């Protein structure tokens, strides 16, 4: 850090400089700023209130544990959910990440719900992947499907009002870039900081960290002494999402603030009606409309929403 930067609040040497905000902050004021900003975003985007019961999906990584820490400091009623995927492959990834989540909850006396996928379904995520059509050998797509389903189901069955996840700006901008390059309208329309429950079996979903850069969350976790799993999932290497994150980081070095601007301009474009949608194909009053304006059907086996009539993708996978 060069000497021209000083903490804007107290003038002390800063721990972080955020060129996109023209803001540098010290070790004391940076974590406070993150907490205050999160509260501001929760209100600005109408994510939830102090009356709501929140369920934070925690992976044992820096973002989701930091999110739980922030919401806890802000006095929200928030329990955690850890999904054990059975990803071990000699790395001990699932066991280690669960240990981080367990330890975090125990230190703060918070409730953590643990769902063990191999114990519940008789197969780990890599095993399910082997017999699935969804992916070309990589478990990420099956993993995403199973995680989303378990999150929805636990939130619904345990009476939570809102499900919160630790997605940061780097995650959201990379997803947006991937979807925009092929103009995947359905996915683009579903990408929102807050996604209302479009079906009786769903709960509202919110991403309170969506405006923070990944490096800011890493700095926050470090300063708050949050013990998280540093390693990525062993299957993350070489994924499209990492590639797009790297591309955006290259853009950011020549154009500070580009990542944030890309995502916020998307939200503005949506506000101003660029993506106005009409509900098509609603033929039955019991059908719901999804975020993309398409009808949502109800899976006859599990009661969860599905975009095609009949068994949902999850029931086809585990059924
Ligand atoms: P990812 O899809 O791995 O980028 O993770 C995005 C968000 O999903 C994280 O910030 C967590 O909130 C949640 N998440 C990811 N993995 C798990 C897990 N194993 N158990 C619970 N929540 C998870
Ligand atoms: Fe699901 Fe890596 S965390 S495949
Ligand atoms: Zn300061
Ligand atoms: Zn189903």
Summarised one tens digit per residue, pLDDT across range 300-313 is: 999 999 988 999 99
The CB of 236 under 6 Å from ligand 2? The reply is yes
Q: Closest residue (by CA) to atom 3 of ligand 2?
A: 233
The CB of 85 under 6 Å from ligand 1? The reply is yes
Q: What are phi and psi of 112, to 5 degrees?
A: -120, 125
**In angstroms, rounded to a whole number, what is the distance separating the alpha carbons of residues 95 and 285?**
45
**In angstroms, rounded to a whole number, what is the distance separating the alpha carbons of residues 126 and 305?**
25
The CB of 140 under 6 Å from ligand 2? The reply is yes
pTM of the complete model: 0.93
Minimum mean pLDDT range among 9-23, 132-146, 274-288: 274-288
Strand order in the sheet with 305-306: 288-289, 295-298, 305-306
How many other CB atoms are found less than 10 A from the CB of residue 136? 7
Cα 154 versus chain centre, distance:
16
Class of domain 27-278: alpha beta
pLDDT at 277: 64
On whether the CB atoms of residues 22 and 16 are closer than 8 A, the answer is no
What are 162's two structure tokens?
């809102």
* Helix (H) or strand (E) run with residue 55 in it: strand 53-57
The CB of 65 under 6 Å from ligand 1? The reply is no
Whether the pLDDT of residue 89 is over 80: the answer is no
**In angstroms, rounded to a whole number, what is the distance separating the alpha carbons of residues 187 and 221?**
30
Whether the pLDDT of residue 84 is over 90: the answer is yes
Nearest listed ligand to the Cα of residue 318? 4
Domain assignments of the chain as residue spans, ordered by start:
27-278
What are 61's two structure tokens?
């990584």
Q: Closest residue (by CA) to atom 4 of ligand 2?
A: 140
User: For ligand 4, a single-atom ion, which residues have Cβ within 5 Å?
Assistant: 299, 301-302, 312, 315
What are 299's two structure tokens?
């899976």
Residues 32-63: pLDDT tens digits? 999 999 999 999 999 999 999 999 999 999 99
Residues 133-186: pLDDT tens digits? 776 678 999 999 999 999 999 999 999 999 999 999 999 999 999 999 999 888
Residues 108-126: pLDDT tens digits? 999 999 999 999 999 999 9
């Amino acid at each position: 850090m060069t000497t021209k930067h000083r903490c804007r609040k107290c003038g002390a040497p800063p721990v972080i400089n955020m060129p996109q905000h023209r803001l540098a902050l010290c070790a004391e004021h940076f974590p406070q700023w993150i907490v205050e900003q999160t509260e501001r975003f929760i209100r600005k985007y109408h994510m939830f209130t102090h009356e709501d019961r929140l369920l934070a999906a925690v992976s044992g990584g820096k973002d989701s544990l930091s999110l739980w820490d922030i919401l806890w400091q802000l006095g929200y009623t928030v329990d955690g959910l850890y999904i054990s995927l059975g990803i071990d492959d000699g790395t001990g990834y699932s066991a280690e990440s669960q240990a981080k989540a367990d330890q975090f909850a125990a230190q703060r006396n918070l409730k953590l719900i643990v769902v063990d996928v191999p114990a519940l379904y008789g197969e780990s995520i890599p095993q399910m992947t082997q017999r699935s059509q969804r992916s070309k050998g990589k478990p990420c797509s099956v993993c995403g499907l199973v995680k989303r389903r378990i999150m929805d189901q636990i939130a619904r069955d345990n009476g939570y009002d809102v499900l919160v996840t630790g997605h940061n700006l780097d995650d959201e901008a990379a997803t947006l870039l991937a979807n925009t390059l092929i103009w995947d309208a359905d996915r683009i329309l579903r990408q929102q900081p807050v996604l209302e429950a479009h079906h009786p079996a769903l709960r509202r979903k919110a991403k309170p960290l969506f405006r923070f850069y990944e490096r800011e969350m890493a700095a926050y976790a470090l300063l708050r002494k949050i013990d998280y799993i540093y390693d990525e999932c062993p299957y993350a290497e070489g994924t499209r999402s990492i590639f797009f994150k790297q591309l955006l980081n290259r853009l950011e070095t020549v154009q500070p603030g580009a990542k944030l601007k890309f995502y916020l301009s998307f939200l503005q474009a949506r506000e101003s009606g660029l993506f106005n949608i009409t509900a098509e194909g609603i033929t039955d009053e019991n059908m719901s409309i999804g975020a993309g304006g398409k009808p949502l059907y109800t899976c006859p086996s599990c009661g969860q929403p599905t975009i095609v009539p009949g068994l949902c993708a999850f029931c086809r996978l585990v059924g």
